[in-house]
Amino acid sequence: MQAPEEPPDATVVARVLSGDAEAFGILIRRYEPALHRFATRMLGSADAAADAVAEGLVRAYRHLRSCREPARFRTWVYRIVANRCKSHLARRPSSDLSLDDLPPLPDPADNATALERAEQLMLVTRALGGLSAEKREAFVLKHVEGLSYEEMAAVTGARIPTLKMRVHRAREALLDTLKEYQ
Amino acid sequence: MSLIDPRIHQVLDGELSRQSLPSELRPALERLEAAAGVLRSAMARRSVAAWVLAEIRRPRPGPMARLARWLIERHAITVSLRPTWSFAVAVLVAAVVLVPSHGTEGPILSAQEGIAQFVGRFPGARSVEVVGSFTDWRSGAIPLQDDDHDGVWQTEVVLPAGEHEYMFVVDGERWVADPLAGRYVDDGFGRQNAIIIVRPGDR
C-alpha cells in the first residue's frame, strides 16, 4: 500500500496539521482506492461509494486533530467512511442492496474470461447483498480489505468476539447462497 | 443457514494451517476464498481526489460572512419573557388569536420546510449554539438564547424538511449531544450526534 520512500501516515498527518493542506493529497492517493472498494462492497453502488468516500475524506481533513493516533490513520479513516456508509444505508428503506445496485450484466462482446469474471462478481455481489449490513461490513473488512480483528474493532467499535461471530455467520450465509447458484 | 465446520473458520482466521484441513473440507474453503478474491478485484471508479482537495482548499467563511449569511436567511424569532409579563402576553396572544385575521402568523414556509425548535438546559453557560448537517457543521450561524438567565437556552429555525444531525456547542468549545433528542447516530469519531426530524409545515 505504501512505497518505501513515501512518508509514513503519522508524518503526513503532522504536515497537514502544521498547515500543509496539500499533503493531505498523499493520504487521499494512498487510501482512496481501498476506501472506494470497501464502500462499493458495502453500498453496492460505485456512485454512492464515491459520495461516501468524498464526504469521509473531507470530514477526516476537518477533524484531523481528533485523530489521536496518527500512525493508525488508516483504521481511523476507514471508521469515518464506514459510518458514512451506515448513514447512507440508514436512509434507504432496507439495508439490503437492491437489484438495481448489482454490477451491470457482462457485454457478450467481451472475451470469455471477462464474461466469467463478471458473472462471478454478479453472483458474489448478490450473495453479499443478502447479508445484513453488520455482517457485510465484517466480511468485507476481514476478507476484502484484509484487516485484522484488532483493526476491525478499531474501525467498527465492536468487540473482537462479536466481530468473529459476524464474520463466521457471514461466511455461512455466503456459502449457502453460493451453493444455490451452482 | 448451515454451519461450516469450525476448522474452516480456523484456517480462514489464521488459527489453523491449511495443510491440516481434511480434503473434503477444502471445496468450501476454496469457494469462500474465491468469493473474497472476486470482491477484491480491481474496479472502475470515479476518483474523488480532485473534488476533496478543492473542498479543503476552499476558504471557510469568516465570522462576519457567517453572520451576514445568518442575517439574510430566514429564521423564526423566539422571544422569552419573564413570568411577570406572562399575563400581558396571554392577553396579547388571545387578542391575536381571537380577532379574525386575513394574514398568516410566523414565517411563511414552503412545502419542503418546517420549523425546528432547539432547547437545552446549560446552567452557567456563556453561549450555546447549534451546529449540524444544516450548517455544514460550521459554528457561528445559529445561537441559542437564554434571555431570562434561567439556564434554559432555546431557538427556532426554519430548516428543510427531513432528517438532520446536530450538536450543541457550549461556550464555543464543548460539544454536547442533545440529551433530549429521541434519536442519535454515531458521528464517526466515537460520539453520538443527535437527530431531529423536521416535517413539512412543522410549527
The pLDDT of residue B202 is above 70? no
Which chain A residues have a beta carbon less than 8 Å from that of B47? 32
The grid coordinates of residue B85 equal 409579563
pLDDT tens by residue, A27-36: 999 999 999 9
What is residue B10's predicted lDDT score, i.e. its pLDDT?
A: 94
> pTM for this one?
0.61
d(CA A176, CA A170): 10
Instruction: Please enumerate in sequence order all residues whose Cβ is within 8 A of that of A170, keeping only pairs 6 or more positions apart, or say none.
Output: A131, A135, A136, A138, A139
Q: Which among B28, B45, B47 has the least Cβ separation from residue A175? A: B28
Least confident of A63-67, B62-66, B192-196: B62-66
Select from A15, A45, A51, A9 the least CA-distant residue to A27. Answer: A9
What is residue A107's predicted lDDT score, i.e. its pLDDT?
A: 56
Q: How confident is the model at residue A99 (pLDDT cuts 50, 70, 90)?
A: very low
- Sorted by where each begins, the domain ranges of chain A are 1-94, 96-182
Least confident of B96-105, B114-123, B158-167: B96-105
What is residue B90's predicted lDDT score, i.e. its pLDDT?
A: 78
Q: Does B197 touch chain A (CB under 8 A)?
A: no
Give the ranges where B13-167 is alpha helix by DSSP (H).
26-40, 49-57, 63-72, 86-98
Average of per-residue pLDDT across B160-181: 86
Structural domains in chain B, sorted by start: 6-40 (no CATH), 67-198 (2.60.40.10)
What architecture is the A1-94 domain classified under in CATH?
Answer: Orthogonal Bundle (1.10)
Residue A31, φ and ψ in degrees, nearest 5:
-115, -10
CATH number of the domain located at residue range(s) A96-182 in this protein: 1.10.10.10
Helix, strand or coil for residue A92?
Answer: coil
Q: Does A153 touch chain B (CB under 8 A)?
A: no
Whether A143 and B39 lie within 8 Å, measured CB to CB: yes
Q: Does B59 touch chain A (CB under 8 A)?
A: no
Whether B28 and A83 lie within 8 Å, measured CB to CB: no
Q: Which residue has the higher pLDDT, B20 or B182?
A: B20
Q: Which residue has the higher pLDDT, A39 or B86?
A: A39
Helix, strand or coil for residue B142?
Answer: coil
Optimal mutation site among B13, B56, B163, interface A, most CBs of chain A within 10 A? B56
pLDDT tens by residue, B60-69: 666 677 677 7
Q: Does A1 touch chain B (CB under 8 A)?
A: no
The pLDDT of residue A182 is above 80? no
CB B190 within 8 A of CB B177: no
The pLDDT of residue B8 is above 50? yes
Average of per-residue pLDDT across B18-37: 92
Residue % of chain B over a pLDDT of 90: 20
Q: How confident is the model at residue B115 (pLDDT cuts 50, 70, 90)?
A: confident
* B39 min Cα distance to partner chain A (Å): 6
What is residue A100's predicted lDDT score, i.e. its pLDDT?
A: 45
Q: At what angle do helices B26-40 and A160-180 cross, to 10 degrees?
A: 100
ipTM of the complex: 0.81
Least confident of A22-26, B8-12, B133-137: B133-137
d(CA B29, CA B19): 12
What is residue B144's predicted lDDT score, i.e. its pLDDT?
A: 92
Q: How confident is the model at residue B103 (pLDDT cuts 50, 70, 90)?
A: very low
